[in-house]
Amino acid sequence: MAEPKLPDALVMAIGRVAVNGAMLEQDVVLFMWMTLGHRLPTGARGSKAVQVPTGQFSRAIDDLRRIARIRLRGELRRGFLAYLDASKRVAEKRNRVVHGTWRAVPDEAGKHRVQGLRVSPLTGEPVVDWLSATEIGAIADEIHAARELLRSLQPGLWAAIPELDVARIAGPVAPDLEAGRPGIA
């Protein structure tokens, strides 16, 4: 017997987590590239092809934490470290939602079974969670809130770290794109 189709509300909530999580990842990677003074690699037609290799998001957060401790002071440092903490926390939730195996039929409380790749250290069995579409939507909102926190910090970050000048970072890429040579400028 075939598994029933996942309900639209559940699929939409999972999709919101996936999209917001991808945007958060891009924010972190872009900030990392800009902070380290690298030019952005680009894909075909000038699309930004900046990605964190699998399993490296946590490392990027840790690297940014070290940079923040060296380059930032006071409230700006505290705010940016709070952003990094929130980003790491919601990325873990995102992974649980996006990489889980979902059951279409909810329990009596409207929660769907999701089994992920995490294994219980006590039993050695896969960890099973039960989440409703509303709870998954709240995770998407948490991810969005982390992105908004970064936006609120940007003016102070630009002032504290001059190399975050977006025009300087984007400038050298444009000639290669105009010449029709996609790839790293």
Domain ranges of the chain: 8-100+133-178
**Average model confidence (pLDDT) across the chain:** 78
- Percentage of residues of the chain with pLDDT beyond 90: 31
pLDDT for residue 44 is more than 70: no
Query: What integer pLDDT is reported at residue 33 of this predicted model?
Result: 74
The verdict on pTM exceeding 0.85 is no
**Cα–Cα distance for residue pair 11/4, rounded to 1 Å:** 13
In order, the DSSP letters of 59-105 are HHHHHHHHHHHHH--HHHHHHHHHHHHHHHHHHHHHHHHHTSEEPSS
Query: Per-residue pLDDT tens for 18-31?
Result: 999 999 988 888 77
Task: Look at residue 165 in the predicted model and tell me its pLDDT.
Answer: 56
* CA 108 to chain CA centroid, nearest Å: 32
